[in-house]
Structure 1
Amino acid sequence: MNTLDLHAEEFRQQGFTVFRSALPPDQVKLMRNLAEDRYQACVADPPDRDTLRGGVSLMRAFEFGSAFRDVLELEPVIPLVETLLGDDCHAISQNVLRIPTGRSIVNWHIDDALFFPFLAGLAIDPTEVPVYSLNVMIALSDIPTDDFGPTQVVPGSHLFGRHPDYTSRLPSGVEAVSLHAQAGDCYLVNSQTWHRGAQNETDRTRYVLTTAYGRRFISQRFYPFLNYRMSPRVLNGAGPRLMRLLGSHGKGPYG
């Protein structure tokens, strides 16, 4: 198997896979600084607060600068995304999680709807279960231990066919793993995989860029939704693949 096939196999079996050193340190630092600047602007200026959700999630990161927009087609990650979702997939959202001391999203969850409830209790070949959406998460700060609040996942849970209880505890017998990372590492997580962010117990803020991708029929989630209009500044200089990832599609079955 080549590297792409190995990552695809792990993703289908486990519900996640990891790319090490996907971004160089200078780019990581730039993106972390841009995110912090945006956060400070949101706190200081009420009109900007619509991009800050729950005090920790900075929405529409592609608006912050080309560094965020261009990472939408990051190599070698995007070929895997397209392998799993199809070559007409697009970005659903792009947010930066800024997790200070004592905060995180500690309840176990999946993202959005439960796609395959009929899988509950069935023995099934993971390669036969389609992938409809996934998260590409890039650590913008070092997350070497559980104290730093890493993303935690339950391997194979994308095949459980059920929601986790929305609490900080897992059912008896269900085991999780922590995705420890160095700044620049990237991990892909199936939207159906049970996951959460452990609480940040350190005195350092945790930064993670999260880009969600979906198949063509999965709608984009750019707040404020119906009234959102992408700025020409975001589209300036984008090539055909990037334009499609941003949502530019040809005519299809519904229009």
Structure 2
Amino acid sequence: MKATGLLGRITEFQRQGRDLGHLLPYAQKWNAADITPATRGMGKDRLPAPDPVGDRCSEEHFMRLRAAVKELDSAWYDSTNNLTVTADTRKALFEELLWEHRELAEAHDKCQVIPEASIDALKEQLATAQREKDELSRQHQEELNALKTSYQELKSQLIQLGLDHAKALKAAEVTAAAKLDEALENACNATVVLRAELEEMTKARKGADEKAARLEEGHKECDQLILQTDTLALRLFPDSQRYAVKKVDAQRKDKGQADLTVPWTPKDHLVALNARVSHMRCIDHNIC
């Protein structure tokens, strides 16, 4: 929580366009009187050490006091809670140790009741244990010999399987080499055929490109001729321009062209020329 530093201090130095004037130094002294040094811990000389942050006002001192009290309250609660939990844990652990000691004591008392075995009985038990050990060792040796025999048989089978696999792998390699040679030969033949076809296609394409170039050149000449003819027709019959423009715009609208102000194409000039000639035929027919 950050202190405002304005508690009990004069903050209004101007009111309705006027200031305190010669009384301003008194207001500043009033505010400065609320600022006192702040300390932080004890120095080496056992005297309160000044806070390097600087002096603080009364509100900031009270805020520090409030934070210290809150921290003390939290530390007191944590210490009390820790003491309670530790006491309960130690009590439960001591109770478990007491009951464990009680059970061990009862088990020890029961062991004291059993009489000590005689030396002959112990020797007999030792001999029985030795016979059981020898029997287990013999059984283990028999099982080990059986495992060795099985291991030798499995080893022989694995060796035979390895030889059969190597033979089959060699046969497969020979077959694969033969098939690979056949495939390479077929690929070479196919490559020769494809190269011949590619050369023929290249020649045909070259001829088609030349023909297309000639057609393009002829098309350009035709377009130039159409433009010259339409220009000549406009020069001879200037009154037909409005009718020709009307026909060209109508055709453009039919084709869905939105902008009618773009320059005419050769096709537009051809339409205009047709319109001029058709118009002139109609006029000539009416005259006749």
TM-score by length of 2: 0.15
Higher strand share: 1
Considering Cα pairs closer than 8 Å and 6+ residues apart, tell me whether 1 or 2 has the greater RCO.
1
TM-score by length of 1: 0.17
Q: Computing the radius of gyration over CA atoms, which structure comes out larger, 1 or 2?
A: 2
